[in-house]
Structure 1
Amino acid sequence: MTMTDDYLDKVYRLRTDAERRALYDDWAGQYDGDLTAQGYVTPARCAAVVAGSALPKDAPILDMGCGTGLSGRALAAEGFTRIDGADVSTGMMAEARKSGVYARLIDLSGATAPANHYAAVVAAGVIGTGAAPPDVFDQCLDLLSPGGLFCFSFNDHARAVPAYTDRLDAAVTTGKARILAQEMGDHIIGLGSRAMVYLLERQ
């Protein structure tokens, strides 16, 4: 078993916020190397979807669950210039700070992201089992004003848990958001996992 497999195996057994913070803090220093070696493509997939929308390159974007900055760097590579990051892991955000792509980083263990400030929220590989709980889906939507974009992914694990998929269904059914695009594709190639990437518009 590789180190990546070991951490990923632990991730899907986490039950509390404290357990999640501790594991991601511990993993922070080797997270990028581990995931890149396994072919983690969801951040790049999400960034490409956002870049394919009409969102201006200088629009303010929040990278929710930014981790070490993989998603922020993918957004920057697509030409976006105003990116904030938010996470609960101080270890991960210490690594994200080194990337130089974030205007600011928000520690969600003690603060909240500003509502109605962002034109888009991106949560790449964030909302799902072992990571962010289902209510983060609604938190992301609530940060946006009408017309704002929400790009996120549900991997195989999240798609198998109704607590996650029901949030999306409820948002669409109640008219809170509409789906602009959805695409199934690779998530972590080396593990054979896949994810659906969605682009929503806040109504």
Structure 2
Amino acid sequence: MSNDDPGLDAAYALRGPDDSRRLYRRWAETYDSDFATGEGYALPDHVAAAFVDAGGRGPVLDVGAGTGLVGERLAALDVGPVEGCDISPEMLEIADRKGVYARLFEADITAGLPAGTGPYAGVVSAGTFTLGHVGPEALATLLDAAAPGAAFALSVNAAHWRAAGFDAALEALGDRIVERRLREVPIYQGDGANRPDTAQILSFARL
């Protein structure tokens, strides 16, 4: 697969917001069937479960909501209302069809959130903090959009965690977060070549 084709290799090779918009414009209509179902993508389930375990409640912001996979899981767990943001309007269009979001809006989290966003009682994200996408510098932006006591449940690709310096970033934010927990989980449940890939599920509360 070339980097011009939608797929995991192309996603990991993204070099900026414009690359992301182009890739997900092409991938949106087939993302759920070809990737989420085809690869046994498990992060939405892990993130939703971790959020509930952390005492999470609405209103919730789903960061990098994509086609709404986390929103669906939260709705099934009676968590809401949920708002979602993503860099791709085409992905958000798919999410909107599912009817589980109170609001969806386009945002490049690496450049910040629109003025007046939040405050939220919870923040979730699956698959956004990963290779070629978003690094730990966005954590401060999300904290700014959260209310005191807000619960967070975020997935971070394990290889990206090490390469991007998430440990150091979290130490720098130590005066803003409490109840920090990490749990390593498989990203995929299928039998494909990517089955060994893992992610850290990071949960904490905002002070």
RMSD: 2.1
Alignment of 1:46-195 (within 5 A): 46-56=47-57, 59-109=58-108, 112=114, 114-172=116-174, 175-189=175-189, 190=192, 191=194, 192-195=196-199
Task: Calculate the TM-score normalised by the size of structure 1.
Answer: 0.88
SS at the partner of 1:147? strand
Q: Are 2:151 and 2:203, in contact at CA under 8 Å, matched by a contact in 1?
A: yes
Deviations 1:150-191 (A, max 9, x none): 11011123123134443223212xx11123432111112341
Q: Are 1:155 and 1:194, in contact at CA under 8 Å, matched by a contact in 2?
A: yes
Deviations 1:51-83 (A, max 9, x none): 123334xx2001011000011111111111301
Q: Mark the CA change 1:182 to 1:131 in structure 2 (over 3 Å): closer, same or farther.
A: same
Letter in structure 1 aligned against 2:205: E
Q: Are 1:158 and 1:165, in contact at CA under 8 Å, matched by a contact in 2?
A: no
Deviations 1:56-115 (A, max 9, x none): 4xx200101100001111111111130111111011001010110001101115962744
CA distance in 1, matches of 2:83, 2:118: 14
Q: Equivalent residue for 1:199?
A: 203
CA distance in 1, matches of 2:40, 2:136: 25
SS at the partner of 1:130? coil
Q: Are 1:106 and 1:112, in contact at CA under 8 Å, matched by a contact in 2?
A: no
Q: Are 1:29 and 1:95, in contact at CA under 8 Å, matched by a contact in 2?
A: yes
CA distance in 1, matches of 2:88, 2:183: 29
Q: Mark the CA change 1:12 to 1:128 in structure 2 (over 3 Å): closer, same or farther.
A: same
Residue 28 of structure 2 corresponds to residue 28 of structure 1 = yes
Aligned residues: percent identity?
33
Q: Are 1:128 and 1:155, in contact at CA under 8 Å, matched by a contact in 2?
A: yes
Q: How many aligned residue pairs are there?
A: 196
- Unpaired runs of 5+ residues, structure 2, are none
SS at the partner of 1:125? strand
Q: Equivalent residue for 2:46?
A: 45
Q: Mark the CA change 1:6 to 1:96 in structure 2 (over 3 Å): closer, same or farther.
A: closer
Q: Are 1:121 and 1:150, in contact at CA under 8 Å, matched by a contact in 2?
A: yes
